[in-house]
């Protein structure tokens, strides 16, 4: 085949089948299968792509049944009436009464589309490589990004029979039974929390929420430190509010028991403390902790960076994102509000955890108006998470850091489990140092069923 011959990379049959199936079913559970896996670019035909765009807009925004007249109306609204013709819509067969074999046609559609994408990528890469004015590193990065996107498209798993996944499920159960501390995935870094939630499991989206100033970032960094220092886990941290150096200072503070204020200003330091700082800094620099403070990310850019590091390191154990309210959605849409955009980000983060097959810990703020005037004694509700209720829905675990005013002098905070799909709720208590540089275990009564504390 000639490299410029694109004709073999187009098959209208699966395109027409999928569009017909969507058009001829009112079952939302069946329709969502197509909209979860397919995008506009998977359709080669201009008219089929336009029809799918209208269908998707109707499904996501209008929340009404997808019928031919509704599609024609949406086409007028989106300026696609010249592309979508009534005769062609009517020609889509009425014989597709169910989504039987829809997976087969979706898979074929995606594969052909990915071949087209890869062809374009190769042609553009060849042009860029031959252009000596183009920086080679930029070309290599672009090729890597595009190939990662193509591989992500191809990695979608089809529906599997229960027989193909039961062995893996039994293996997980046996591993949990044989584990000393009941941890299914990786430790949280705190024994009392592990006993409540069973550690952080692969594919989980964990939300760590709290009012401003409660120590969310510091607790997340404590978890990263504990996992890297004592369990040799590889941690990737995306930070949008504090700098890379700020995180390094917090890590040194945790290890050295010296306040971040002293580390930042140089006050209260002496030669002996400087020696301790330098020794601990050398040890910390060897930890498998990686920090990205390059700015606001979309989920797709986080995925690309994480996958690159996974290839370089042979794997990752945890991704930490600080925080979700500073993220942007991959989709550019002018009409939506911030709640809708953050809802999309939340759903994309859950997909990211599943795709990378590792836990993703994302920090979140509470709505200031919702918690205003309630005082520190009242624990915020997960329904008060700032900007979006979708965070609560998408998360597997929601942890709420809470520091009751009455406990401020004792240096004790509570970590409430606001949501836990597969475990217990309740709360655990942690000791915090006066300057919020370190979180440590309280002496804990191991009888978790009775839930007692010795501290």
Question: Which parts of the chain register pLDDT below 70?
Answer: 1-8, 25-30, 32-33, 62-63, 93-103, 152-165, 168, 179-182, 296, 330-336, 367-377, 386-389, 404-410, 434-436, 443-455
Nearest partner of 49 among 129, 148, 116, judged by Cα: 116
Pairwise CA distance, residues 224 & 254, whole Å? 11
| Cβ atoms of residues 107 and 158 within 8 Å | yes
179: preceding bond cis by omega (within 30 degrees): no
What pairing do the DSSP bridges indicate for beta strands 426-432 and 397-402? Answer: unpaired
Residue listed under structure tokens 């953050």: 342
DSSP secondary-structure letter at 356?
Answer: H
Angle among Cα 200, 331, 353 to the nearest 5 degrees reads 15
Element (DSSP H or E) covering residue 196: helix 191-197
- What span, in angstroms and rounded, lies between the C-alpha atoms of 366 and 353? 23
pLDDT at 293: 87
- How far apart CA 318 and CA 206 sit, in angstroms, is 11
Classify the C-alpha dihedral 32-36-316-163 as positive or negative.
Answer: positive
Q: How far is the C-alpha of 380 from the C-alpha of 397, rounded, in Å? A: 15
CA–CA separation, 249 vs 281, rounded Å? 9
Round to whole Å and give the CA distance between 396 and 360: 10
Q: Which residues of 397-424 are buried (b: 16+ CB within 10 A; e: fewer)?
A: bbbbbbbeeebeeeebbebbbbbbeebe
Reduce the DSSP state of residue 440 to 3 states and report it.
strand
Q: Provide the pLDDT for residue 185.
A: 79
Q: Take residue 308 and report the two structure tokens written for it.
A: 């690159």
Query: What is the structure's pLDDT at 191?
Result: 87
């Amino acid at each position: 085949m000639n490299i410029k011959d694109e004709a073999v990379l187009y098959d209208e049959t699966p395109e027409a089948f999928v569009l017909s199936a969507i058009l001829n079913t009112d079952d939302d559970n069946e329709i969502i299968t197509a909209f979860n896996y397919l995008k506009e670019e998977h359709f080669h035909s201009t008219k089929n792509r336009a029809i799918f765009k209208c269908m998707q807009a109707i499904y996501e925004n209008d929340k009404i049944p997808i019928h031919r007249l509704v599609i024609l109306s949406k086409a007028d609204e989106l300026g696609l009436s010249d592309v979508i013709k009534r005769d062609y819509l009517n020609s889509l067969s009425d014989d597709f009464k169910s989504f039987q074999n829809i997976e087969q046609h979706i898979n074929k559609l995606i594969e052909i589309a990915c071949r087209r994408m890869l062809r374009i990528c190769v042609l553009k890469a060849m042009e860029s490589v031959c252009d000596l004015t183009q920086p080679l590193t930029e070309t290599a990065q672009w090729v890597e990004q595009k190939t990662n996107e193509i591989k992500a498209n191809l990695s979608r798993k089809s529906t599997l029979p229960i027989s193909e996944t039961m062995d893996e499920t039994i293996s997980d159960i046996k591993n949990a039974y044989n584990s000393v501390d009941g941890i299914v995935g990786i430790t949280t870094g705190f024994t009392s929390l592990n006993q409540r939630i069973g550690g952080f499991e692969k594919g989980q989206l964990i939300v760590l929420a709290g009012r401003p100033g409660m120590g969310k970032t510091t607790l997340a960094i404590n978890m990263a430190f504990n996992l890297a220092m004592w369990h040799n886990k590889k941690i990737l941290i995306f930070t949008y509010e504090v700098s890379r150096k700020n995180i390094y200072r917090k890590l040194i503070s945790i290890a050295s028991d010296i306040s971040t204020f002293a580390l930042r200003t140089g006050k209260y330091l002496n030669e002996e403390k400087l020696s301790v700082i330098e020794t601990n800094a050398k040890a910390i620099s060897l930890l498998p902790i990686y920090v990205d403070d390059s700015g606001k990310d979309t989920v797709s850019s986080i995925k690309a960076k994480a996958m690159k590091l996974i290839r370089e390191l042979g794997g990752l154990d945890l991704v930490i994102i600080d925080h979700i309210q500073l993220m942007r959605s991959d989709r550019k849409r002018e009409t939506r509000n911030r709640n809708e955009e953050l809802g999309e980000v939340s759903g994309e983060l859950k997909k990211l955890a599943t795709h990378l097959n590792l836990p993703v810990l994302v920090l979140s703020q509470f709505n200031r108006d919702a918690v205003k005037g309630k005082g520190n004694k009242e624990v915020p509700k997960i329904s008060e998470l700032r900007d979006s209720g979708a965070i609560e829905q998408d998360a597997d675990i929601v942890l709420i850091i809470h520091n009751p005013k009455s406990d401020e002098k004792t240096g004790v905070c509570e970590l409430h489990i606001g949501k836990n799909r597969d475990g217990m709720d309740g709360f655990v208590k942690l000791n915090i140092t006066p300057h919020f540089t370190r979180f440590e275990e309280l002496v804990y009564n191991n009888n978790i069923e009775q839930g007692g504390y010795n501290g």
